[in-house]
Structure 1
Amino acid sequence: MTVLELTDVDTYYGNSHVLHGVSLDLAEGEVVALLGRNGAGKTTTMRSIMGVTPPRRGTITYRGEGLVGLSPNEINARGIGLVPEDRRVFPTLTVHENVVLAHKLAADPRPVEEMYDLFPVLDDLRTSRARNLSGGEQQMLSVARALVQRPSLLLLDEPTEGLAPVIVDDLQAMLHDVVSQDVTVLLSEQNVHFAFDLATRGYVIDTGSIVFEGSIEDLRERDDLLEQYLAVTPEEVA
């Protein structure tokens, strides 16, 4: 069953045409990667889905229902959770207060304690202010805030950006537990290794246009795409 479908989406920032006819889809239970360099259009795609920067043309449907024209809160209430690239945790609230607030805003939330089971690092930081957390800890908190609302579709926008390699490894291990549960995931990433480990299918976007769609295994074999659009060599992803 198709959960999310974008068809010929054109999105602008003012007069700047950013997305050019973007089409993609996700089936139930899939983990799909949206790959590309910085500025390729990954975050704008996420913002278009969530209604933060609505498209001027094209359609976005979620479980057969059109999303274009709905507010971000209305889209979130339909079961789509976004973990934005800048994390956006509440800095003056504690870890626990951040999770509890997200829990209270959800119609059918998961138990708060489940988030500490998924992210044991946060369990020891319950009373810490979010502003005092490391970048990796804030990212885990951002994911926990989204998951506690029990989304059926999770949008992860550049989750490894700015994180040290050892923290990326920890986050990767925890996200394996997340994606093994009943949630469909669209992951935008520059970190090809991270994305290839989690996703089974991928899209490559460049200057706002999709230039590849296929399985991760097929993408591994496309030396031209890896080097031209993702700045990695075939040996690096072998």
Structure 2
Amino acid sequence: MISMKKVSQLYGGTQILWDLDLDIEPGSITCIMGRNGVGKTTLMKAIMGLLPIQSGEITMTGEPLHKQSAERRAYAGIGYVPQGRDIFPMLTVEENLRIGLPVKGKKEIPEKIFELFPVLKEMLHRRGGDLSGGQQQQLAIGRALVLEPKVLILDEPNEGIQPNIVKQIGDVILKLNAEEGLTVILIEQKLGFARRVGKEFRLMEKGRIVAADKMENLNDDLIKQYLAV
């Protein structure tokens, strides 16, 4: 589905990614994990086209992505929910959701969004900035799903979110993966959530993938070496 080969990336004069290789299989839920500062968010932004890469290649189903704009990558079927959500606080919930409709050539918000996140229908005419953190995260995910993506990238979707919303987000990820075959790439610091939702893990250290396996094989030794603070 998505493949990265020998990807290096510089940010502000500092090299963040070092000859990184990553393969994401279709229909997988892959958790990208590692301590703070190892390059996880930079990796996601490189996939999405928000940061240019210095060298290497990124492909999706064999087609080159690394020379395409972020907008074109959205058209290709990549949905992105950044860390911190980045909704438009002065726009209503409805206006936030409608932003992605032209990409799919549609005029109406898919009813599926409201089935997954009923609160968004209840608050359709409220401004995004007036929602709670958990509601804003649901809005951010809903906005990405309006694009009907083949791949959904989520950067720490549970950061600062109340437990009941965390569970709901996990349920939505599992539902979309099981019923629609949605491929999910997830940056997640909460080990319990990663084990509940993830099918595979990739551990990062110093801008490289240093371990990759099925989630059930994420053992205490790997946790201590690459995740423990």
Root-mean-square deviation over aligned CA pairs: 1.7
Which TM-score applies when normalising by structure 1?
0.90
Secondary structure, in 3 states, of the residue corresponding to 1:38?
Answer: coil
| Gap regions ≥5 residues in structure 1 | 233-238
Which residue of structure 1 aligns with residue 17 of structure 2? Answer: 19
Deviates more, 1:169-178 or 1:116-125: 169-178
CA offsets per residue over residues 106-165 of structure 1, 9 Å max, x none?
346885221001111212111111001111111110110111111111111111112233
Paired residues for 1:134-145 under 5 Å: 134-145=132-143
Deviating more after overlay: 180-189 vs 108-117: 108-117
| One-letter code aligned to 2:49 | G
* Structure 2 match to 1:217: 216
Q: Partner amino acid for 2:53? A: P
Looking at structure 2, the residues matched to 110 and 152 of structure 1 have their Cα atoms a distance apart, in angstroms, of 20
The 5-angstrom pairing of residues 62-81 of structure 1 reads 62-81=60-79
SS at match of 1:76: helix
Q: 1:103 to 1:164 in 2, by over 3 A?
A: same
The CA distance in 1 between the partners of 2:184 and 2:107, in whole Å, is 18
TM-score by length of 2: 0.93
- Give the secondary-structure state (helix, strand or coil) at the position aligned to 2:45: helix
Give the aligned partner of residue 191 of structure 1: 190
Map 1:13-162 to 2 at 5 A. Answer: 13-107=11-105, 111-162=109-160
The 8 Å contact of residues 112 and 148 in structure 1, kept in 2 or not, is answered as yes
Q: 1:190 to 1:66 in 2, by over 3 A?
A: same
Query: Offset of 1:166 from its aligned partner?
Result: 3.5
Name the CA shift for 1:211/1:177 in 2 (closer, same or farther; >3 Å). Answer: same
Paired letter, 1:197: R
Are the aligned partners of 1:20 and 1:209 in contact in 2 as well (CA < 8 Å)? yes
CA distance in 2 between partners of 1:230 and 1:88 (Å):
27
Separation (CA, whole Å) in 2 of partners of 1:96 and 1:103: 11
Greater mean alpha carbon deviation, residues 132-141 or residues 160-169: 160-169
Alpha-carbon offset, residue 51 of structure 1: 1.2
Tell me if the contact between 1:109 and 1:150 (Cα under 8 Å) persists in the aligned partners: no
Question: Aligned-pair distance for 1:54?
Answer: 1.5
- The aligned amino acid for 1:230 is L
* Equivalences, count: 228
Question: CA separation in 2, counterparts of 1:103 and 1:84?
Answer: 19
Residue 227, structure 1, aligned to residue 224, structure 2:
yes
